[in-house]
Amino acid sequence: MKRLLAFPLLAVLAIPVFGQGVGYTNTPQIRGQKWKVHDKDRPNPPTVTPGATFSNGAPAPSDAIVLFNGKDLSRWKSGNGDAKWKVENGYFEVAPKTGDIRTRDEFGDVQLHLEFATPSKVEGDSQGRGNSGVFFHDQFEIQVLDSHKNKTYADGQAGGLYGQWPPLVNAIRPPGEWNTYDIVFEAPQFDADGKLAKPAYVTAFLNGVCVHNRKELNGPTNHQATNPYKAYSGKGGIRLQDHGNPTRFRNIWTRAIGTYN
């Protein structure tokens, strides 16, 4: 992620500073960390080569909601109505300049399976290469990016909790190959006065490699900014980002997270 095409920019963006690292020096401090947002000096995660397959093509469990069946985008919408992205050959692809798409369903605590492929034709670099994103409740992004031999700021890597936490490792596959996300998102909770009672947490596997282990989010994820939580219902949709790159998606399903008896 670098910008949200579906929403107007609210402020003038800071100027990136390139040097030994790739990123910024003039962004806010991340709450609870020694690093700034997209800090150019933050170390990049080590690279791990994932196994040939993990949950690629995983069938949806019996209690799952299938968000994409390989045929149509009937369970998705855009800001202007029906989703406009291209559907073919069992996947759908970002149609640049058409805007982000969102699920018609809303979720609380949820398990998500999703598969994505960045373009096989490599164009651009850093955040301009195979960029998209998976947003929970329109606020919390797990980055989608071609991070294969592509230098960018640490908290913007594929698998990153954007602008807050880099992935533990870089487990992306080469451009054009299918990657799998298996994510558990725990929604934040607020008390009757609107104060934060429990933050959001994310557990995530990228291609079978753990990239976040119930990691706490300190608020919504943002580009060049850090904002506190604001009370809401704890439910929301899943949004996929149009960042101008023809990234592909397939085999998307969710399950509600139950409770112990």
- Give the model's pLDDT for residue 41: 96
Render the burial of 112-123: b for 16+ CB within 10 Å, e for the rest. bbbbbbbbeebe
- Give the model's pLDDT for residue 1: 53
- For each of the domains in the chain, give its residue range(s) and CATH number, in order of start: 17-256 (2.60.120.560)
- Give the model's pLDDT for residue 3: 47
- Give the model's pLDDT for residue 8: 35
* DSSP per position, the chain: ----TTS---SPPPPPEESSSEEBSSSPBPTTSSSBTTBTTSPPPPB----S-SSTTPPPPTT-EEEE-SS--TTEEETTEE---EEETTEEE--TTS--EEESS-BSSEEEEEEEE--SS----GGGSS-EEEEETTTEEEEE---TT----GGGSTT-BTTTB--SSB-PPPTTS-EEEEEEEEPPEE-TTS-EEE--EEEEEETTEEEEEEEEP-S---SS---------S-B-EEE---SS--EEEEEEEEE-----
Which amino acid is it at 228? P
- Give the model's pLDDT for residue 9: 33
- Give the model's pLDDT for residue 20: 45
pTM here is 0.90
**Cβ neighbours of 74 (radius 10 Å):** 12
Six-digit token pair at 105?
């369903």
Give the tens place of pLDDT for each residue, 159-206.
999 999 999 999 999 999 999 999 999 999 999 999 999 999 999 999
Q: Which residues of the chain have pLDDT under 70?
A: 1-20
